[in-house]
Structure 1
Amino acid sequence: MSIWGKMTRKANIHQYLKEDIKFQKTLKARDLMALGIGAVIGTGIFILPGTVAATTSGPGIILSFLVAALVCATAAMCYAEFASSLPVAGSAYSYGNIIFGQFIGWVIGWALILEYMLAVAAVSVGFSAYFSAFLKGFSIHLPQAISGPLDPSHHTYVNLIAMVVIWLITWMLSRGMKSSMRINDFMVVIKIAIIALFIIVGLFYVKPKNWSPFLPFGANGVLTGAATVFFAYLGFDAVSASAPEVKDPQKNLPIGIIGTLIIATILYMAVSTVLTGMLPYSKLNVADPVTFALQFFQRNGVAGVISVGAMAGMFTMMVTMIYSSSRLVYAIGRDGLLPKFLGKINDENHLPNHSLVTVTIIISIMGGFINLGQLAELVNIGTLIAFSFVSIGIIPLRRRKDIKNDGFKVPLYPVLPIISLLLCLYLMTHLRLETWVASLIWFVIGAVIYFAYGMNHSNVHVSEK
């Protein structure tokens, strides 16, 4: 087979379904929404509504979150149709392999590896900072040497808390999905309860005059704010990675994906409404606007509880992303594009523990020793690349007679998938040049791995189409 033939060969869905049957189907729609909300609702809900309102949208930040949700919903519906049609491990990577061919599938998978692993590493550092501050409240001070990345000039050598929390989550996931989901569901409930606490307490201090003028920056401010907060919704796509472990995936996966987006939108808009009603929007350009607003009204106890909510938010986000990245690496190893031991499923607990441990080693090294800095923005480009392919992929998916879908289908076909693609491309043009350069280096590395190893070790069966 020619090089081009190898790059464009399309995977057989029946091969995937046969291999992924080894997973235990334990997840329900409730678990999927907990995974999605765990990924989407993080510390951003305590920061973005204030800072974006102060600098970009004013009280119109409420509408900015709604517009961003509608934009995100276009991609979410495309993911929901793919998840319903192709309930296989690997999410957008596997979709790309089946619809576009092996090389495009690899590009999507390589982008998602960047998204998932870098996101967890960055959040683990944030969790470490919050946890250290929490300990200081009890007069417990961690040694400086274990409180930051490897930087001898500043006397820091490892971020121990970041590494410990990553390995703690991995241990939890390795025990099985039933017990893991119980813990994750509990943490999500705590997080939502703390958000609800802020909304209820804050309502008592809302002054309607603070919502006037509602659009101080005009309609353009609302749209600019929407582009800024769009990334607050990222993470719902990780739900589709759980497909082989879901009961009745044609029904539950779309509910999990779209339900996540609806609940996240309600929470973001509610926090924005209360926050901009408590104080004039111009005063909210601070690092912690929610805490600032509560302290302004002498509600220091509630402000302290918010920090616990922030840690719960970061914890559940890491659970979802470590889980999703392990399933992604499993799927790539299953196809032979990465070493095949990564595609093995443990016979005892029916989990891909080889891939789970491998991604944990990489993520913990990144979180514990490397100063990620501005590299965190690479999460955005990895996500948008996957969104773009999934959006336009709906068109060839519908044309495949060998793929049946009795579940969710994108409305307004083919207009909505095309709109979703154009929106993703538009947002990509707003990323910084440094982000594009760094991502180009990442994809060059990926191309070298594919042509040097993956292409010649692939065990993907060609589709019968």
Structure 2
Amino acid sequence: MSIWKKMTQKADIQQYLQADQQFQKTMSAKELMALGIGAVIGTGIFIMPGTVAATVSGPAVILSFLLAAIVCATAAMCYAEFASSLPVAGSAYSYGNIIFGQFIGWVIGWALILEYMLAVATVSVGFSAYFSSFLRGFGIKLPQAISGAYDPSHGTYVNLVAIVVVLLIALMLSRGMSTSMKINDWMVIIKIAIIVLFVVVGCFYVKPKNWSPFLPFGWKGIQAGASTVFFAYLGFDAVSSSAPEVKNPQRNLPIGIIGTLVVATILYMAVSTVLTGMMPYTKLNVADPVSYALQFFHLNGVAGIISIGAMAGMFTMMVTMIYSSSRLVYAIGRDGLLPKFLGRVNDKHLPNHSLLVITIIIAVMGGLVDLNHLAELVNIGTLIAFAFVSIGVLPLRKRQDIPNKGFKVPLYPILPIISLLLCLYLMTTLKMITWISSLIWFAIGVVIYLVYGIRHAGQNLE
């Protein structure tokens, strides 16, 4: 077979379904929503409403979150149709392999590996900072040597907390999904309860005059705000990685994906409404606007609780992303594009080989590497996957061998095309350094594919 034919060869869905039967179906729609909300609602909910209001949107940041949610909904519905039609491990990677062929699937998978692992490593550093601040409230200060990335000139050698939290989450996931989801569910409940606490308490300090003028930056401010806060919603796509472990995936996966977006939108808009009502928007351009507003009204106890909510948010986000990345790497190993041992599951029906490898990589990145200039790469990896999934709905509908009795994108084919165009537009808003860094990452991916992947592809499914 020629190289071109191998690159464009499409995966057999029946082989995928048969290979993924090794997983136990234990997850319900409720657990999928907890998984999705865990990924989408992180520290951003305590920061972005304030900073975006102060810099580009004013009180109309409420509408910016609504507009961003509508944009995200177009991609979410495309994901929901794919998840309903193809309940296989690997999310957008597997969808690309089946619809577009092996090479495009690899490109999507390589983009998602970057997104998931870099997102977790970055958030683990943020968790470490919040945890250290939390300890200082009790008079405990961690030694500087173990509180930052490797930088001897500034006296830091390893970010120990970042490494430990990643290892603890991986240990939890390695014990099985039933226990992991119970812990994740409780953490999500705590996080939502703390957000609701802020909304309820904050309502008593709202002054309607702070919402005037509502549109200080005009419609352009709403658009600029939507482009910024769009990235606050990223993570709902990770829900589709769980497909082989979901009971009744045709019904539950679309509920999990779309339900995540609905709940997240309500929470983001509620926080934005209360926050901009409590303080003039011009005063919210600070690192922690929610805590700042609470402290302004001498609500220091509630402000302290918010920091616990922030840590809970980061913890659940890392749970979802580590879980999703382990399933993604399993799927790529299952197909032979990465070493065979990564595509195996153990006697408990868990892909712990892939979990171990990605945990080591994430722990090293979070504990030793300065990620400040790499965090935005998460955005481009996500948008590439969104773009392919959006346009992929068109050929998916034409496949007679892929029946779908579940969710279908409304306004077909207009909505998938709109979703694609929106993704492409958002890509144009990313910085040049992000594009250069991503091109280097994809060049490495192409080399790995041509040297290893193309030679071993499909061997593990035979």
TM class by shorter-chain length?
A: over 0.9
1:11–1:460 Cα contact (<8 Å) kept: no
* Matching residue of 2:94: 94
State the one-letter code of the partner of 1:453: Y
Query: For residues 401-441 of structure 1, what are the alpha-carbon distances to aligned partners after superposition, in whole Å with 9 as ceiling and x for unaligned?
Result: 00000000000000000000000000000000000000000
Query: Secondary structure of 1:375's partner?
Result: coil
Whole-Å Cα distance in 1 between the matches of residues 284 and 373 of structure 2?
A: 24
Cross-structure match for 1:150 = 150
SS of structure 2 residue aligned to 1:287: coil
Counterpart of 1:166, as a letter, is: V
Alignment partner, residue 137 of structure 1? 137
2:51: which partner in 1? Answer: 51
Structure 2's unaligned 5+ residue stretches are none
The 5-angstrom pairing of residues 364-403 of structure 1 reads 364-403=363-402
Q: Tell me the distance in 1 between the aligned counterparts of 2:53 and 2:369.
A: 32
1:334 and 2:326 aligned: no
**Counterpart in the other structure of 1:431:** 430
| Cα shift at 1:374 | 1.4
- Percentage of matched positions with identical amino acids: 79
Alignment correspondent of 2:33: 33
1:354 is matched with which residue?
353
Equivalent residue of 2:22, what SS? coil
Distance in 2, matches of 1:459 and 1:286, equals: 52
- After superposition, the C-alpha distances for 1:323-356 in whole angstroms (9 at most, x for unaligned) are 0000000000000000000000002x11000000
Match of 1:67 in 2: 67
- Paired positions, count: 462
Deviation sequence 1:76-123 (CA, Å, 0-9, x none): 000000000000000000000000000000000000000000000000
Q: Distance in 2 between matches of 1:335 and 1:257?
A: 25
Q: Check the 8 A contact 2:334/2:460 in 1, yes or no.
A: no
Contact 1:27 1:246 (8 Å CA) reproduced: yes
Task: Give matches, 1:250-261, under 5 Å.
Answer: 250-261=250-261
Kindly provide the amino acid, as one letter, of the partner of residue 412 in structure 1: L
Q: Which residue of 2 aligns with 1:235?
A: 235
Q: Deviations over 1:443-462 (max 9, x none)?
A: 00000000000000011699
The aligned residue for residue 15 of structure 1 is: 15
CA distance in 1, matches of 2:150, 2:12: 45
8 A contact 2:336–2:460 mirrored in 1: no
1:264-283 counterparts in 2 under 5 A? 264-283=264-283
8 Å contact kept, 1:58–1:215 = yes
2:453 aligned with 1:454, yes or no? Answer: yes
- CA deviation vs aligned residue, 1:134-182 (integer Å, no higher than 9, x gap): 0111111111110001111111110000000000000000010000000
**Structure 2 SS opposite 1:376:** coil
* Distance in structure 2 (CA, Å) of the matches to 1:374 and 1:41: 23
Where structure 1 has 5 or more consecutive residues not aligned to the other structure, the ranges are none
Distance in 1 separating the partners of 2:134 and 2:284: 23
SS in 1 for 2:214: coil
Task: For 1:406, give the aligned amino acid.
Answer: K
Distance 2:148 2:215 in 1: 41
Which amino acid in structure 2 is aligned with residue 246 of structure 1? V
Structure 1 counterpart of 2:446, one-letter code: A
Deviations 1:215-268 (A, max 9, x none): 010011001100010000000000000000000000000000000000000000
2:405 equivalent in structure 1: 406
Q: Equivalents in 2 of 1:73, 1:249: separation in Å?
A: 19
Does the 8 Å CA contact 2:81/2:406 hold for their aligned counterparts? yes
What is the alpha-carbon distance in structure 1 between the residues aligned to residue 145 and residue 69 of structure 2?
Answer: 42
Which aligned runs of 4 or more in structure 1 are off by greater than 6 angstroms?
none
8 Å contact kept, 1:333–1:339: yes
- In 2, Cα distance between the equivalents of 1:121 and 1:147? 14
